[in-house]
Amino acid sequence: MEIAGKVFIVTGGASGLGEGTARMLAANGGKVVIADMQAEKGEAIAKEIGGTFVKCDVSNEADGQAVVAKAVSVGKLMGLVNCAGIAPAEKTVGKNGPHSLAVYTKTIMVNLVGTFNMIRLAADAMCKNEPESTGERGVLISTASVAAYDGQIGQAAYSATKGGVVGMTLPIARDLARNGIRNMTIAPGIFGTPMMFGMPKEV
């Protein structure tokens, strides 16, 4: 896909992998819409790269709809890169008792439900695109993790969400193939991001 002139949504684009992705897309001529909860940083990055910022809780339907609507208003939405996520570290049973169910649920909502929410909304908009000469209407890229396959101590919630992202990748790809929309997932290892620096040393 030619990046130049196309619109791309990057969730979690205010830091880490998302920020790097947003900068790369902009450097190659893409029109970037950053969707993140970190308004101050997100707006600053968007201004720097000539993009657009929308404050967004990816697990919230109305927020996701607002991001997609903004992207479509900018131009032809051809890409979604899901980088938004949280990684709370908590053992199944710790010194203070069992794993917080609220923390587990929130992790599922952000990392798994949020990823699917943005996929379904962006894909719906892409289905309305006039196909490229290749027949393509868009591409969806989500972020899993090596933790989906080799989770460590304190990663029960995080690994569950990333395993879920991996699990839904193929059926979504099959759902959307006839529409000319590709769906894929990457599974990065450990590298220096604010999320990683917030993890305990044993993780």
Model confidence, pTM: 0.92
C-alpha to C-alpha distance for 189 and 6, rounded to whole angstroms: 29
C-alpha to C-alpha distance for 38 and 92, rounded to whole angstroms: 29
Of 48, 57, 76, nearest in space to 139 by CA = 76
The CATH number linked to 103 is 3.40.50.720
- Look at residue 166 and tell me if it is in a domain: yes
- Please give the single-letter amino acid code of residue 115: T
Enclosing domain of residue 62? 7-197
- Look at residue 202 and tell me if it is in a domain: no
pLDDT in tens, 31-41: 999 999 999 99
- Look at residue 129 and tell me if it is in a domain: yes
C-alpha to C-alpha distance for 110 and 9, rounded to whole angstroms: 17
Average pLDDT over residues 43-65: 99
- Look at residue 42 and tell me if it is in a domain: yes
Give the residue numbers annotated as catalytic, written as ranges.
Answer: 158
pLDDT in tens, 83-105: 999 999 999 999 999 999 999 99
Our count of domains for the chain comes to 1
Of 102, 16, 15, nearest in space to 53 by CA = 15
Average pLDDT over residues 125-142: 98
pLDDT in tens, 2-17: 999 999 999 999 999 9
